[in-house]
Amino acid sequence: MEKIIGILILSFLWLSNANAGINEPGTGYLYSGLKACKGALKSEHKKLKKIYLEKDRKINVILYASCNAEDVVWGSKKGKNLETLHQKAYKKCLKSAKKYMPGEDCYLYAVNEEKVWKYDKAKESNKKKVKLAKAKAELAEAKVLEEKQAQLDKKPGRFFEDQPDVNDDYQVHFIYMLTMSDKDRELDINGKIEEYAVKMNAIFEKFSKKTKGSSGAKKYKYDYRKDGKLDVTFIRLDKERKEFHKYINGNYKGWLWLNGFNNPKKVYFTFADVTSVDGGEGGVGMASMFLKNKYNQNKSSMIKTALHEMHHAMGGGFACVPGMSKKAHFISGQDTDSKHMFFGKAYVHDVEGCPKGEDSVYLTPTSQDPYDPFKLICLNEWGKYNHKKLIKLREKQKKDLKNGKWNYRNGGSNCKFSYWAYDDGLMKIFNDVEAQRAYDMDPKSH
């Protein structure tokens, strides 16, 4: 929490143009350089002055702007009624600021021929002090509310941390997650998540047994407490849902890493009681089901999708599997339960140098020579898995990243606890700085 508060305070310091009013001249520093305010606004004002002069000063031109070290936006209007022009130009500028520079306000830059924006160091310093004081007050209030919510979340039978493991084997650890704006339906303590987990393994045993060529029925290794019950952790993120990206896993994976849910011998499988554009999403290290998504209202369908995402957490679908696309799904679609849950050829095949689902180290009975998805996908240690399609994709990823092109595919699903080290042209495992960056990712970013 301290890290997040610090970052938020710093972000408020950047906002030097806030809480302006209509007709208030700007006093902030006009930056030069890439996306510079100074040159852009000077050019725009020049165009407006030309219009003003060509009309023999019979119409007025108004220019409002917002500027910081990273970007600039503006809004301009022309007409006869100055009061109306001020309102419309300010509103137009504010609309752009809201989209491209959240938190910034707009100030008057020019009226007709006159540039009224003048840098005033003393005023800007005072604005920052006022904003900092306001930010601290708001953050203090937010912390009080968060602590109050934390007390409300404390309920009998609930655990807020991964409990001591009963063994050192590979395990799937379950989580019930909410944001600050979500209602607690107590799925971690009313038996629902345990019910989902049991049904997932029951279906998996059934399909693994009947898949042609399989070695028999298998199921996933779950994380249990010493009392023999399924270990389920409760997590409430410290922001409201609207403050996260629409693909919330992009933020959530950062939180998991920062809070110690980063054991390479575990898959963190979350039943998230939140909205999302996806029914589920997963990769190596973690996967999530978004229970408020419309596709998850049918429990049977939701459980099958959970097994679909679990397969992605196992590294699949591998591009060398017959019928599998480069995007880790069957080319022919998922029109059957078997394809939707990655059985069939994704589970058993005889393709040399290609991983098969039944050999995941997370399954029991465990194969004699199992594969570890974290080593394959996250550490890029493929060992005997040298199928030509996998090699080609790994080489393409290496080339793309080196040339500044984003590419997270190296043969299967993606590693959730990794980031693109742009300067090195490599995918690397999270550190705390990159995990924090992921958690704080702008909700409007791509």
- Quick one: pLDDT at residue 243? 93
Q: What does the pLDDT average to over 86-92? A: 96
pLDDT band at 138 (very low <50, low <70, confident <90, very high): confident
pLDDT above 70 coverage of the chain, percent: 94
Closest CA to 413 of 317, 305, 275, 338: 317
Q: Which amino acid is at 88?
A: K
pLDDT beyond 80 at 6: no
Q: What is the mean pLDDT of the chain?
A: 91
pLDDT beyond 80 at 142: no
In SS3 terms, the chain reads as CHHHHHHHHHHHHHCCCCCCCCCCECCCCCCCCCCCHHHHHHHHHHHHHHHHHHCCCCCEEEEEEEECCCCEEEEEEEECCHHHHHHHHHHHHHHHHHHHCCCCCCEEEEECCEECCCCCHHHHHHHHHHHHHHHHHHHHHHHHHHHHHHHHHCCCCCCCCCCCCCCCCCEEEEEEEECCCCCCCCCCCCCHHHHHHHHHHHHHHHHHHHCCCCCCCCEECECECCCCCECEEEEECCCCHHHCCCCCHHHHHHHHHHCCCCCCCEEEEEEECCCCCCCEEEEECEEEEECCCHHHCCHHHHHHHHHHHHHHHCCCCCCCCCCECCCCCECCCCCCHHHHCCCHHHCCCCCCCCCCHHHECCEECCCCCCECHHHHHHCCCCCCCCCHHHHHHHHHHHHHHHCCCCCCCCCCCCECCEEEECCCCEEEECCHHHHHHHHCCCCCCC
pLDDT band at 1 (very low <50, low <70, confident <90, very high): very low
Q: What does the pLDDT average to over 201-217? A: 98
pLDDT beyond 70 at 224: yes
- Bridge-partner residues for 188, per DSSP? none
- Quick one: pLDDT at residue 18? 42
Least confident range of 7-21, 87-101, 241-255: 7-21
pLDDT band at 294 (very low <50, low <70, confident <90, very high): very high
pTM, full prediction: 0.74
pLDDT beyond 50 at 3: no
pLDDT band at 446 (very low <50, low <70, confident <90, very high): low
Could you read off the pLDDT of 146-171 as tens digits, one per residue? 788 889 999 999 999 999 999 999 99
Could you read off the pLDDT of 309-357 as tens digits, one per residue? 999 999 999 999 999 999 999 999 999 999 999 999 999 999 999 999 9
Report the C-alpha gap between 127 and 17 in whole angstroms: 8
Could you read off the pLDDT of 99-133 as tens digits, one per residue? 888 888 999 999 999 999 999 888 878 877 887 88
pLDDT beyond 60 at 405: yes
Report the C-alpha gap between 65 and 63 in whole angstroms: 7
Bigger pLDDT: 364 vs 6: 364
Bigger pLDDT: 269 vs 70: 269
Least confident range of 23-32, 130-139, 278-287, 373-382: 130-139
- Quick one: pLDDT at residue 33? 58
pLDDT above 90 coverage of the chain, percent: 78
